[in-house]
Amino acid sequence: MKKTIATTEAPSAIGPYSQAVEINGMLFISGQVPVNPQTGKVAEGGITGQTEQVMKNIGAILKAAGYTYNDVVKSTCFLSDMANFKAMNEVYGKYYPENPPARAAFAVKELPLGALVEIESIAVKTR
């Protein structure tokens, strides 16, 4: 059965989509931009601060759905500039110190709200 996941601990959707959808033990998390859900503003601190906020938003959605970072099997990282890849990667890696998920990362022309990074993830219940 398909279930929509929503939490106030992550930013509300800024369009006609859900924060995440769970079906058959799989969680599909929509691309998260670095919006602080308490302020509604894009996080400060350049790519490092923005990646940290994105990962916190993903963590909040995972928690709301009963998953953890360990359940993430695939991420896609969108960057406004590949020059930010190394700094994004350093922050991202802190959340997956062992057995990181499969991942793709690439630059796009532009991201919503002028963000420097957006990350979407897929998690699977393996327990």
Q: What distance in Å separates the CA atoms of residue 127 and residue 125, rounded to the nearest whole number?
A: 6
Question: Which tokens sit at 94?
Answer: 């802190």
- Identify the H or E element spanning 121: strand 117-124
What is the C-alpha to C-alpha distance for residues 32 and 13, in angstroms, rounded to an integer? 9
| Residue 114 pLDDT | 95
Coil, strand or helix at 93: helix
What is the spatial distance between Cα 69 and Cα 13, in angstroms, rounded to a whole number? Answer: 21
- Cα 63 versus chain centre, distance: 13
pLDDT (0 to 100) of residue 118: 98
Nearest to 19 by CA among 8, 6, 9: 6
pLDDT in tens, the chain (127 residues): 899 999 999 999 878 999 999 999 999 999 999 999 999 999 999 999 999 999 999 999 999 999 999 999 999 999 999 999 999 999 999 999 999 999 999 999 999 999 999 999 999 997 6
| Structural domain spans, the chain | 3-124
CATH 3.40.50.720 is right for the domain spanning 3-124: no
Q: What is the pLDDT of residue 76?
A: 98
pLDDT score recorded for residue 127:
62
Q: What is the pLDDT of residue 106?
A: 95
Model pLDDT, residue 13: 85
The strand pairing partners of 123, in sequence order, are 27, 72
What H or E segment, with its residue span, contains residue 31?
A: strand 26-32
For residues 26 and 89, what is the distance between their CA atoms, to the nearest angstrom? 25
